[in-house]
Amino acid sequence: MYKVMIVEDDSKISHIIYEHLKKWKYAPFETNYFEDLERQFLELRPDLVLLDINLPVYDGFYWCNKIRQISKVPIIFISSRTENMDIVMAMNMGGDDFIQKPFSLEVLMAKCNAILRRTYTYQQSENEYLEHNGLILHVNKGRISYHDCELDLTKNEAQILFMLIKKKETIVSREELMQALWESGDFIDDNTLTVNIARLRRKLEEMGLSDFIETKKRQGYTIP
């Protein structure tokens, strides 16, 4: 069940959206405290954010920027503003779509369904396996194989290896890895990342791949 965070200061509109999302079997959450939306976002960890522009304290552009610093979750702006510049700014700040008020609930749901399908169904089915220099990462199984050897990875180890192979021959920073692991649902700090990298390297060494992951001092990691 997808969690949807509704950031709308008009309580009537917010509740209408809330009730309609429930009918579609989503798990909606109405925001009533607009001073610290970032904290609420981190606590809820929604799959989609519906964000108004005109809000108390800080506007939607501000909060979109704050969310984009910590997450790639899809954001749909819902606003009565109709100027092209507002729409352009919403997209430039990291918004994925823009719906102008007044709007049809059917159009809203069509856009929600489409963006959730593109974001999450695609990610789940994307590349059942990745291969690099003979090593195969079975993405959906969380398993690696090399010649006749197979080993299971933890979720974090598989996510780290997935990112490094996807971005092979480029340096992936520790901050980028931690953010990706945070978004997968687990809190991870710098020490935890170090432990996961060390465990992953030991498993690769067991398979005869002792130098598969290189450390770039003060930069991050890379797979050459």
pLDDT tens per residue, range 52-93: 999 998 999 999 999 988 888 999 999 888 778 888 888 888
| Number of independent structural domains in the chain | 2
Q: DSSP for 63-106, please give it.
A: HHHHHHTT----EEEEES---HHHHHHHHHTT-SEEEESS--HH
Q: Provide the residue range defining the domain that includes 135.
A: 129-222
Domain boundary residue, one of 85, 100, 125: 125
Extract the tokens encoding 221.
Answer: 């990691």
Q: Which residue has the tokens 């949807």?
A: 4
Query: Are 34 and 110 part of one and the same domain?
Result: yes
Kindly give the parts of the chain with pLDDT less than 50.
Answer: 122, 125-126, 185
Q: Are 130 and 140 in contact (CB under 8 A)?
A: no
Residue 10, pLDDT score? 94
Residue 82, pLDDT score? 75
Q: Model pTM? A: 0.57
**Domain at 149, CATH number:** 1.10.10.10
Query: Are 89 and 13 part of one and the same domain?
Result: yes
Q: Where are the alpha helices (DSSP H) in the chain?
A: 11-23, 37-44, 60-68, 84-92, 105-116, 122-125, 155-166, 174-183, 190-206
Residue 72, pLDDT score? 83
Query: Are 140 and 218 part of one and the same domain?
Result: yes
Query: Are 135 and 121 part of one and the same domain?
Result: no
Query: Are 161 and 113 part of one and the same domain?
Result: no
- SS3 for 217? coil
Query: Are 87 and 159 part of one and the same domain?
Result: no
Residue 75, pLDDT score? 94
